[in-house]
Amino acid sequence: MGFIVTMRTFDRTRPGWGPRGRSGPGGLDEAVQYAREREQFGKKIISFQAVQHILADMATLVEAARALVYSVARYVDHSENPKEISKVSGMAKVFASDVAMKVTTDAVQIFGGYGYMRDYPVEKMMRDAKILQIYEGTNQIQRNVIGLELNKEYAGKKGTR
């Protein structure tokens, strides 16, 4: 029973891995601050439309990940179905940790060459975000769990193509 207990424990802790360490929101904060300070061609780079679009996408992803994690946390607290918890906790972990990786990679892009230097925090945030995709079941394994549960869920439904 030890393995089953461990897996069920992970199902309840897994959603928290995506936002851990504030990699996504922290990367966004750092990128916005840097874009407001950095000048290129006589203008702050935040005034460039391409930079604004990257920042807007980063902010949207961070908020979407936050909403999913909160929603799944509420669901996990009130659900009695362990298989359903596995599916939704995997979804929260996959999405939030992928968002953390994307946002920190975009933050490094905003910083340009400085983004790789240890003098700036986004380099470490990007490395920290990567491990979130690995801990408590890699995102690939989580996608397997989600896919298997979806297959079972839809196997009993009539009228599907």
Per annotation, catalytic residue among 39, 63, 136, 149: 136
Dist. CA 65–CA 125, nearest whole Å: 17
Q: What angle do CA 71, 76, 81 make, to 5 degrees?
A: 130
Would you list the DSSP string of 128-151? HHHHHTTTTS-HHHHHHHHHHHHH
Cα end-to-end span (Å), the chain: 38
3-state secondary structure of 111: helix
- Owner of token pair 């780079």: 45
Dist. CA 52–CA 58, nearest whole Å: 10
Is there a catalytic annotation at residue 136? yes
Q: Which helix (H) or strand (E) holds 49?
A: helix 49-78
Evaluate whether 138 touches 97 at the Cβ level (below 8 Å): no
Q: So which residues are the catalytic ones? A: 136
